[in-house]
A and B are shown apart, each in its own frame.
Chain A
Amino acid sequence: MTPMSTLSPPKAPPVPDWSRLVADSIVQHGAWHTYMKLVEARGRYPDDLSRLGYTEILRNMIVRDFLHHPKGMQAMPKLTPEFLSNFDRFNLTAQEGYLVSLIDGRLDLQKLLLLSPFDHFTTLFNLAKLQHERAITVPQ
Chain B
Amino acid sequence: MSANSGRYPISERLKTPIAIVSERGAVEWSNAAFEATFGDDAGGWLTDASRAVAGESGWLQGFFVDADELRSIDVDIEGRTYRIDKIMHVDDYDSPSVALWFEDVTRQREAEQAKSDFTAQIVHDLRGPLSGIQGTLEFVLSQEGTKLDPLNSDLLTEAKRESERMMGLINEIMDFSKIQSGSFAVEQEPVRVAGLLKRAVRSLQSVASRDEVFLLSAHGRDVPQIIGSVEKLTQAVINLISNSLKFTPKKGLISVGAQILRKGDVAEAIVITVTDSGMGIKATELQQIWDKYKQSGNKSLRGGGGTGLGLYIVKQVVEAHGGEVTVASVEGVGTSMVLKLPVKRAA
Inter-chain CA distance A122–B324, complex, in Å, is 25
Number of interface residues of A (CB under 8 A): 27
Q: Are A19 and B329 in contact (CB under 8 A)?
A: yes
Residues of B participating in the A interface, judged by any CB pair closer than 8 Å: 214, 216-220, 251-255, 257, 259, 261, 271, 273, 275-277, 283, 286, 324, 326-331, 333-338, 340
Smallest CB-CB A-B distances: 4 pairs? A53-B328, A121-B218, A53-B336, A64-B253
Which residues of A from 12 to 58 have beta carbons under 8 Å from B? Answer: 18-20, 22-23, 26, 47, 49-50, 52-54, 56-57
A99 to B328, CA, bound (A): 31
In the assembled complex, which residues on chain A have CB atoms less than 8 Å from the CB atom of B273?
52-53, 56
Residues of chain A within 8 A (CB-CB) of B257 are 56, 121
Chain B nearest CB from A29 CB (Å) reads 14
A53: B residues at CB distance < 8 A: 273, 275, 326-328, 336-338
Chain A residue numbers with a CB within 8 Å of B328 are: 18-19, 50, 52-54, 56-57
Q: Residue of A at shortest CB range from B329?
A: A19
State the Cβ distance, B83 to closest chain A Cβ, in Å. Answer: 31
The closest CB in chain A to the CB of B328 belongs to A53
Contact of A49 among B214, B216, B277, B324 (CB under 8 A): B324
Known: A57-B330, A63-B255. 11 other contacts (CB 8 A): A22-B333, A49-B271, A53-B328, A56-B338, A57-B333, A59-B218, A60-B253, A61-B277, A64-B253, A119-B217, A120-B217
Q: Contact at B275–A56, with CB atoms within 8 Å? A: yes
13 contacts between A and B (CB under 8 A): A19-B286, A23-B330, A23-B333, A26-B333, A49-B271, A53-B328, A56-B275, A56-B328, A57-B330, A64-B214, A64-B277, A119-B220, A121-B216
Which one, B216, B254, B275, B277, contacts A119 given CB within 8 A? B216
How far is A122 from B335 in the complex, measured between Cα atoms in Å? 19
Residue in A19, A49, A60, A61 whose CB lies within 8 Å of B338 = A49
Taken together as a complex, chains A and B put the C-alpha atoms of A122 and B252 apart, in Å, by: 17
A124 to B253, CA, bound (A): 12
Known: A53-B326, A118-B220, A121-B217. A61 touches B271 (CB 8 A): no
Contact between chains at B251 and A19 (CB < 8 Å): no
